[in-house]
Amino acid sequence: MTAPRTAFDKLWDAHRVAGVGEDADLILIDRILLHERTGGIALKSLEESGRAVADPAQVFVTMDHVVDTLPGRSDKTIMPTGTQFITETRAAAQRAGLTLFDLGDPRQGIVHVISPEQGVILPGLTLVCPDSHTCSQGALGGLAWGIGSSEAEHALATSTLRMQKPSVMRITVEGSLPLGTTAKDLALHILRQIGSSGARGHMIEYAGPAIAEMEIEARLTLCNMATELAAFSAIIPPDERTIAYVKDRPFAPKGADWDRAVAYWRTLQSDDGAIYAREVTIDAGAVRPMVSWGTSPQQAVPLGEAVPALDAEIAPTTADAHARALDYMGLSVGQRLDTLPIDAAFIGSCTNSRMSDLRRAAAILAGRHVAPGVKAICVPGSSAVKAAAEAEGLDRIFLNAGFEWREAGCSMCFFAGGESFGPEERVISSTNRNFESRQGPRTRTHLAAPETVAASAIMGRIAAPADLPTLSEVDA
């Protein structure tokens, strides 16, 4: 009898080539994803060292970070030197013989959206990408984590990484999410409870009934924000939902391999009695639609509540951090979030830009229009999402409501020197980071679920879908 193991232990053991040094393991890497922002430099540095990509077939490259998302885009970018990132990454990928989802390719999009879509990430695989939100892909039951460019270079050259094994922390989500709350609200709720260092260095395993009943796209949203908890990554062991999602994806196994793979994936559960370094239990029933008020994702509250005083914060913080956030956001303690006028609304990013996100937002926007003066933008996460949304008419709903309808990419989730929101403009955003100047110099970001972003765009202030007048009242 072997000792009970977590799903993470099983994946680690299956990929452990050897021990190296006193305390590290050499871990086999099955998939490497690169984008033009941090992947190009890894390829360039590898070439300059005279080394080659060990197995080009395992490497996928896309353009998402600095490409424009305006219709009719090309290699030219609004970001002053963006073109260089695109053309150099493309040329290096072609020289190395890597699979490239380039501009104009129907498979192009945000790396953490296209990888699940294409079946690049699968249960049981190890996958790395020089991007902190790679943890998203643990939602498919693979071991996926973000790395730096030097580590990417190591993985490219050797198909391995030298790793210290992280401890596993289980977050069990009991009960069910109330109607009208989503995985994004759950992620912000957890951040509020345990803080932006709350899972530092740990592998999170999400478990419990609320996770079991969650669709895969929602799981991707939840796992996406593990990096905001300072986790190593997150994983949801594969179940029947995962297997159904993966089936027939372009890079998923087919035929006899599919049957073998499914049988293997069913063994990748955490064993009863497996030991976790930490255990946290969350009551899904207590989750409410959330919105962030500060400059760290842990600074979030339910929509109808007020900016909390320092002593009302749940997770550890300091007076300095609290005061700096208030000052930056132009808020004071006791101000209700749902009274704040907004200048802009953004739906997109690796957190919330998949079909289910766009459908939920469109359901709110249908028959309504954004408030005067509000700049509203929707950026589908991938070219495939965009095409599918257009096939069912969602683009017309967004456009008729006064939203811009963009080409796929990371877009205004972060400011790279090109497009931005203005100084002190208040933006409600379905993204993952509300850091100072993240979406533009001195821009004030409030994180929320896509339906909250849609409702706020219509009301011209931070608002819940429940705050909207019914359509019959509007018609009258």
Partner 1 sequence: MTPFTTLRSLALPLIRDNIDTDAIIPSREMKSVAKQGLADGLFAGWRYTAIGGREPDPSFVLNDPRYAGASILLGGVNFGCGSSREHAVWALAEYGFRAVIAPSFNPIFRGNCIRNGMLPIEADPTPLAAVEGPLTIDLEAQTVVAADGSATRFEIEPEAKLMLLKGLDPIDLTLERSDEITAFRARDRAAHPWHYLGAPSLQGA
Q: Which of residues 352-371 bind partner 1 (CB under 8 A)?
A: none
User: Does 84 interact with partner 1 (rule: CB under 8 A)?
Assistant: yes
Q: What is the DSSP letter of 121?
A: S
Considering only residues 152 through 191, tell me which ones interact with partner 1, judged by CB under 8 A. 153-154, 157-160, 162, 164, 166
Alpha helices in 283-377 (DSSP H): 319-329, 355-365
Note the maximum CA span of the chain.
74
Judged by CB under 8 A, the stretch of 149-157, 340-348, 353-361, 393-401 that binds partner 1 is 149-157
**Least spacing, CB of residue 294 vs partner 1, in Å:** 10
Instruction: Please report, to the nearest 10 degrees, the dihedral formed by the alpha carbons of residues 45, 46, 47, 49 taken in order.
Output: 90
Structure tokens at 260: 């073998």
| Touching partner 1, residues 259-298 (CB under 8 A) | 260-261, 264, 295-296
Task: Find the binding residues for partner 1 in span 320-359 (CB under 8 A).
Answer: 320-321, 324
Q: Which is nearer to partner 1, 44 or 73 (CB)?
A: 44
- Minimal distance, residue 196 CB to partner 1, in Å: 6
Instruction: Tell me the window of 82-90, 170-178, 236-244, 452-460 that interacts with partner 1 (CB under 8 A).
Output: 82-90
What is the number of other CB atoms lying within 10 angstroms of the CB of residue 399?
13
Residue 397 C-beta: closest distance to partner 1, Å: 31
Residue spans of beta strands (DSSP E) within 167-321? 168-174, 203-207, 233-235, 278-283, 290-292, 300-302
> Does 85 sit near partner 1 (CB under 8 A)?
yes
Q: Is 442 in the site for partner 1 (CB under 8 A)?
A: yes
Task: Tell me how far apart the alpha carbons of residues 202 and 394 are, in angstroms, rounded to a whole number.
Answer: 39
> Stretches 101-109, 281-289, 316-324, 378-386: which one binds partner 1 (CB under 8 A)?
316-324
User: Which of residues 180, 253, 304, 460 is near partner 1 by CB under 8 A?
Assistant: 253
According to CB under 8 A, which residues from 88 to 147 bind partner 1? 88-89, 122, 124-125, 130-132, 146-147
The C-alpha atoms of residue 185 and residue 207 are separated, in whole angstroms, by 17
Phi, psi at 235, each rounded to 5°: -145, 145
Q: How far is the CB of 121 from partner 1 (least distance, A)?
A: 12
- CB closer to partner 1 out of 261 and 284: 261
Contacts to partner 1 from residues 16-45, by CB under 8 A: 17-18, 20-24, 26, 28, 30, 37-38, 40-41, 44-45
> Which 3 state secondary structure label does DSSP give 386?
helix
Q: Any residues with CB less than 8 A from the CB of 370 and at least 6 apart, and which?
A: 345, 376, 401, 402, 403, 457, 458, 460
- Provide the minimum distance between the beta carbon of 46 and partner 1 in the complex, in angstroms, as a whole number: 9
Least distance CB 7 / partner 1 (angstroms): 16
SS3 for 348? Answer: coil
What H or E segment, with its residue span, contains residue 162? Answer: strand 160-163
Q: Is 51 in the site for partner 1 (CB under 8 A)?
A: yes
CA angle 328, 334, 338 (to 5 degrees): 80
Write down the least CB distance from residue 260 to partner 1, Å.
7
Single-letter code of the amino acid located at 85: F
Return the number of the residue (375 or 438) whose C-beta is nearest partner 1: 438
Q: How far is CA 239 from CA 141, 243, 266, 273, 280, in A?
A: 8, 6, 7, 19, 21
3-state SS assignment for residue 382: strand
Looking at the Cβ atoms of 176 and 317, the one nearer to partner 1 is 317
DSSP secondary structure letter of residue 61: E
Q: Half-sphere exposure (CA, 13 Å, Cβ side) for 113?
A: 31
**Is 435 an interacting residue with respect to partner 1 (CB under 8 A)?**
yes
Residue from 267, 318, 332, 339 touching partner 1 (CB under 8 A): that is 318
80 near partner 1 (CB under 8 A): yes
- Report the residue number, 45 or 176, with the smaller CB distance to partner 1: 45
**Position 424 contacts partner 1 (CB under 8 A):** no
Kindly state the smallest distance separating residue 200's Cβ from partner 1, in Å.
Answer: 6
Q: How far is CA 3 from CA 9, 205, 238, 241, 272, in A?
A: 11, 18, 21, 28, 10
Query: What is the chain's alpha carbon radius of gyration, rounded to the nearest angstrom?
Result: 22
Among 189, 166, 152, which residue's Cα sits nearest to residue 61?
A: 152
Identify the CA nearest to 349 among candidates 118, 138, 64, 34: 64
Among 172, 176, 193, 197, binds partner 1 (CB under 8 A): 197
Between 206 and 265, name the residue whose CB sits nearer to partner 1.
Answer: 265
Show contacts with partner 1 in window 200-239 (CB under 8 A). Answer: 200-201, 227-228, 230-232
Q: Binding of partner 1 at residue 54 (CB under 8 A)?
A: yes
